[in-house]
Amino acid sequence: MMMIDKLINRIKSTENPTVVGLDPNQDFIPKFIMERVVAKYGWTLKAMGKAILIFNKMIIDEIYDLVPAVKPQIAMYERYGISGLKAYVKTIEYAKKKGLIVIGDIKRSDIASTGQAYSDGHIGRAKVGLSEFEVFKEDFITLNPYLGSDSITPFINDCKSYGKGLFVLAKTSNPNSGEIQDLLIGDVPLYEKVGELISKWGEELIGENGFSEVGAVVGATHPEQAKRLREVMPHTFFLVPGYGAQGGKAEDLAVCFNKDGLGAIVNSSRGIIAAYKKEQYKDKFTEEEFAKASRQAVIDMKNDLRRCL
């Protein structure tokens, strides 16, 4: 089965188009976890890698039955070097074992043979002699489109070969995203031109639910623009960042979805993984119960989204 259909099936079975962003940050990791790893490894990169993995596993244990997917942001792991990236690999393995679909938020991009190297490592196979290895093992990855079609082709080929999916940046959720992405090409903003390319890249990879393996990242903080993109990209599934902490509201997200409630998956990172620090959950959950607070935050987000879709 195509990966986009696996994702859609899980969205249907959980009745929840939410993806939990596993973006661990030292400030989010409860003291009892840090104390445990520091006792063993000191204040080291290795300790952080271990802490991140414990933190992620405890969250995954509480949310795997409620959401279709998780999205680890590789930067948060790469920051800690080899130790952090080991936690990235093990987080992916653990999430997949629990039945979750994993979207690796890697935003990679490079030309021809270099793009192929990224693809080999993340969604394809790395060859050593005649042996082949799955390395990072994400189900989907995010890509940056600035280099054009030949930078995307190696990934598309591996999607075909290995049943994987992509989300390519169209319109990002950050305040300065418009600086380049909103520049007008004639009457059409760049992000829409990029949307057209993404749509074209995905043409040959449309699954049984009518959506392509090649999706688009479309920020929740720009509802008018998301609405327009939804119209011009009917077969493109959206990965929507920016809900919650970045200011995107559920009301604004409705435009990313079709009438049948499909068409997008909405990410929340710190709103869920650091829920125990929020006013709303602080009194109900102790720091030791941080993962239960995350569970409650997922349920509340699900209800918030259902109210508007």
Regarding 232 and contact with a second copy (CB under 8 A), the answer is: no
Regarding 179 and contact with a second copy (CB under 8 A), the answer is: yes
Regarding 274 and contact with a second copy (CB under 8 A), the answer is: no
Which of residues 16, 91, 181, 296 is near a second copy by CB under 8 A?
181
Regarding 147 and contact with a second copy (CB under 8 A), the answer is: yes
Helix boundaries (H) for the chain: 3-14, 31-41, 45-63, 75-78, 81-97, 112-122, 149-162, 178-181, 190-201, 223-232, 250-253, 270-273, 279-282, 290-308
| 107 included as an active-site residue | yes
Which of residues 184, 204, 280, 288 is near a second copy by CB under 8 A?
184
Closest CA to 226 of 184, 200, 258, 203: 258
CB of 124 to a second copy, least distance (A): 9
With CB under 8 A as the contact rule, which of the stretches 3-11, 116-124, 260-268, 272-280 interacts with a second copy? Answer: 116-124
CB of 17 to a second copy, least distance (A): 22
CB of 48 to a second copy, least distance (A): 5
Active-site entry in 12, 90, 98, 107: 107
Between residues 11 and 168, which has the closer beta carbon with respect to a second copy?
Answer: 168
> Please, what's the b/e burial string for 85-113 (b: 16 or more CB within 10 A of its CB; e: otherwise)?
bbbbebbbebbeeeebbbbbbbbbbbeee
CB of 108 to a second copy, least distance (A): 7
What is the number of other CB atoms lying within 10 angstroms of the CB of residue 84? 21
Closest CA to 20 of 62, 81, 79: 62
